[in-house]
Amino acid sequence: MSQTMKSHFLILLLFITSLSLNAQETARDLGIITGVMPVGKTNSIVDVSGVKVGHTTLIKGDAIRTGVTAILPHGGNIFQDKVPAAVFVGNGFGKLAGTTQINELGNIETPIILTNTLNVATGIDAVIKYTLHSSENEQVRSVNAVVGETNDGYLNDIRGQHVSTTDVLNAIKNASTEKPEQGNVGAGTGTICFGYKGGIGTSSRRLPKNLGGYTVGVLVQTNFGGVLDIGGVNMGEKLKNFAFADELQNNVDGSCMVVVATDAPLTSRNLERLAKRAFMGLAQSGGIASNGSGDYIIAFSTSEDVRIPYQTKALYKTKSVPNDWMSPLFMAANEATEEAIINSLFMAEDMTGYQGHHIKKLPVDKVLSILKEQGVLESE
């Protein structure tokens, strides 16, 4: 093949890829509305001002289908300017590094990293290096890296531990406030959800001014099972693809990592309460928190009113939302989590990986047809 033909072929390939990406639409783009609250500008976690997201996607050969997703609570030095945070564990069959210190001190001091189960240690190593080499951290001697995971070992050669420290650092370096990619990207590259290709999903909710005007954004890494529900319709049953449909065995194990961000000034105690409501969104999507599932929700606030300085010699005041104002935020976390999970399915694509294993994407056209039959969507 001549150089000219190779160039034309490459241009054609890029064009086809672009068409494929542009063809992907979120559930909301297709008229499926989750809940009643308005969404933010991009309907993603970055609608919470300052939050940044970056991906490293690893698709190599026939067996490597994995990656990294980094979530930065703000663009400054997170170690020096910590954010209040909390963790809620729906089912603890998983590995979320950094949990005990978050529970003890009520804050996060590093980027949040999501990857696969056997590369959690790599994520920790990278976050420590990133923090130690950040400006102003020359005297730091202890770092609480926050690294979560799901097991992508069906589509990915997970035993090969193919994620490198550089891959994690690149995800952090490339993090931006642009709307993050969804589906088969980053930590969601090789994941499976409700028997279909899962991945990264995101959504947001914006409270009206009379309820505070705050924003809640959610990002999920979906790799779990149950009985899929979309728009109040038992989609798992309609599609004949649901937990224990074929045989009574533990075939729904996986995990779901949920990251909840808000600009509402919340204490770690109320952030834990917010995280619990996000777990309700997972349940509303049809998740059952099976025996082997690691279902973790990390919630943090970006508000400067509740930031925690690394070192201070004086008392400092915080302004936080009172308990009586929390219910709208609870509702926002619930709705955004459910929609983020659905988006991870709608934005994913078919994938073939390790040992020739193949997972199909959610049959979106069939889903839309069922929703029209059930009166959830209007027929054309």
Active site residues: 255, 293, 295
Within a domain: 18: no
Q: Mean pLDDT across the stretch 217-230? A: 96
Dihedral class, residue 183 (left if φ above 0, else alpha if ψ from -120 to 50, else beta): left
Give the residue with greater pLDDT, 303 vs 20: 303
Domain that holds residue 179: 26-311+328-371
Residue 3 in this model has a pLDDT that exceeds 60 = no
Residue 15 in this model has a pLDDT that exceeds 90 = no
Residue 251 in this model has a pLDDT that exceeds 60 = no
Q: Mean pLDDT across the stretch 233-251? A: 75
**10 falls in which pLDDT band (50, 70, 90)?**
very low
Within a domain: 63: yes
Tokens standing for residue 333: 């976390």
Q: What is the pLDDT of residue 327?
A: 98
Within a domain: 379: no
Q: Is 367 exposed, middle or buried (0-12, 13-18, 19+ CB in 10 A)?
A: buried
Within a domain: 45: yes
- What does 322-358 look like in DSSP terms, one character per residue? -GGG-HHHHHHHHHHHHHHHHHHHHT---EE-GGG-E
**22 falls in which pLDDT band (50, 70, 90)?**
very low
Tokens standing for residue 1: 């093949």
Number of folded domains that form the chain: 1
Q: What is the pLDDT of residue 313?
A: 77
Within a domain: 16: no
Within a domain: 6: no
Within a domain: 224: yes
Q: Looking at residue 89, which CATH number applies to its domain?
A: 3.60.70.12
Q: Mean pLDDT across the stretch 44-68? A: 98
C-alpha torsion sign, points 97, 200, 334, 215: positive
Residue 230 in this model has a pLDDT that exceeds 80 = yes
- How does pLDDT run across 302-354, given as a tens digit for each residue? 999 999 999 887 887 889 999 999 999 999 999 999 999 999 999 999 999 99
Please provide the average confidence, as pLDDT, over all residues in the chain: 92
